[in-house]
Structure 1
Amino acid sequence: MDDRTFRNAMGRFATGVTIVTTQVGDDTHGMTANAFMSVSLDPKLVTISIDHNARMYERIKASGQFAVSILTDEQKEVSMHFAGQKDDPSVVEFDYISGIPVIRDALAAVVCNVAESFEVGDHTLFIGQVLEIKLTDGNPLAFFEGKYGSYQPV
């Protein structure tokens, strides 16, 4: 199978939209991602998958920490900014939890120390030990077949 067929098949899995953030020195860095999942309740662990060519890869390795902000359906512009689809920094507002930047008013912000990392193909799986969580009310931003949408309960 070719790369396009694989990408099309993976795009048929509807996901939420997250922004992965970290802090290196005084510099805040973020990227849009949907490769995020919970791993364990005891201990509380999550994982993110980061391409080795992404700037975030080296930044998480340097900081040893990251946060995942799960976006609301009102934060599409924030996602597009961090995905490089729109250059509008005015749409981004950060809060800081334990010194790690998170997206203000996200549905959830999960702050982690890197517990382990595993190189798998052209990505690294960063396993995060959850330090803190902040929750906010709202509806999730969804992503399906390369398009943004909203969750509609059935």
Structure 2
Amino acid sequence: MDDRQFRNAMGKFATGVNVILTEVDGDVHGMTANAFMSVSLDPKLVVISIGERAQMLEKIKQSQKFTVNMLAADQQELSMIFAGQIKEKREVSFDRLADQPVLAGSVAQITCEVTAEHVEGDHILFIGNVTAIELAEREPLIYFSGRYRSLMEEVPTT
């Protein structure tokens, strides 16, 4: 199988859209990611996957902290900014949760401290111990088959 076929197959898995943030020397750094999942309930652990060539990799290694911001349906522009799809400079404001930067209006904000790193292929998996969570009742931003989507309400069965 070639790389394109693999990428196309992975794109058939509908995911939420997250922005991962970290702070180093007072500067906030971020990237859009869908490679995120919960790992454990006790202790509360999550994992993010960062490519070995991503600028964010060294920032997380330095800070040993990160936040996961699950974007709401009206936050597509933030996803595009942190994915580098919007090149011109845009002002992004950050809130704070457990003294870490988070994006206001997200469906969920999760602060984490890195407990482990694992090299897997061309990515590093960061295991994060969850230190704080903030939730909002909003519709999530979804990504499927290379496009942003919205979550439709379930149709009742008769």
Q: 1:42 corresponds to which letter in structure 2? A: D
Distance, in Å, in 2 between the alignment partners of 1:44 and 1:153 is: 29
Distance, in Å, in 1 between the alignment partners of 2:116 and 2:100 is: 18
* Structure 1 residue ranges (4+ consecutive) displaced by more than 6 angstroms after TM superposition: none
Which residue number in structure 2 is paired with residue 38 of structure 1? 38
Displacement after TM superposition at 1:35 (Å): 0.2
Displacement after TM superposition at 1:52 (Å): 0.7
Distance, in Å, in 1 between the alignment partners of 2:83 and 2:126 is: 20
Q: How does 1:105-120 map to 2 (within 5 A)?
A: 105-120=105-120
1:7 aligned counterpart, secondary structure: helix
Which residue number in structure 2 is paired with residue 77 of structure 1? 77
Give the TM-score taking structure 1 as reference length. Answer: 0.97
Number of aligned residue pairs: give it: 153
1:89 aligned counterpart, secondary structure: coil
Q: How does 1:45-84 map to 2 (within 5 A)?
A: 45-84=45-84
Which residue number in structure 2 is paired with residue 126 of structure 1? 126
Alignment RMSD: 0.8
Which residue number in structure 1 is paired with residue 16 of structure 2? 16
Distance, in Å, in 1 between the alignment partners of 2:90 and 2:109 is: 20
2:8 aligned counterpart, secondary structure: helix
Give the TM-score taking structure 2 as reference length. Answer: 0.94
State which structure, 1 or 2, has the greater radius of gyration over its C-alpha atoms.
Answer: 2
Displacement after TM superposition at 1:99 (Å): 2.1
Deviations 1:58-114 (A, max 9, x none): 000000000000000000000000001113523x22101122111111010000000
Distance, in Å, in 2 between the alignment partners of 1:138 and 1:99 is: 24
Distance, in Å, in 1 between the alignment partners of 2:53 and 2:98 is: 28
2:57 aligned counterpart, secondary structure: helix
Q: 1:75 corresponds to which letter in structure 2? A: Q
Q: Which runs of 5+ in 1 are unaligned?
A: none
Deviations 1:110-130 (A, max 9, x none): 000001110000000000000
Which residue number in structure 2 is paired with residue 104 of structure 1? 104
Displacement after TM superposition at 1:10 (Å): 0.1
Q: 2:90 corresponds to which letter in structure 1? A: P
Distance, in Å, in 2 between the alignment partners of 1:99 and 1:83 is: 24
Distance, in Å, in 1 between the alignment partners of 2:89 and 2:13 is: 28
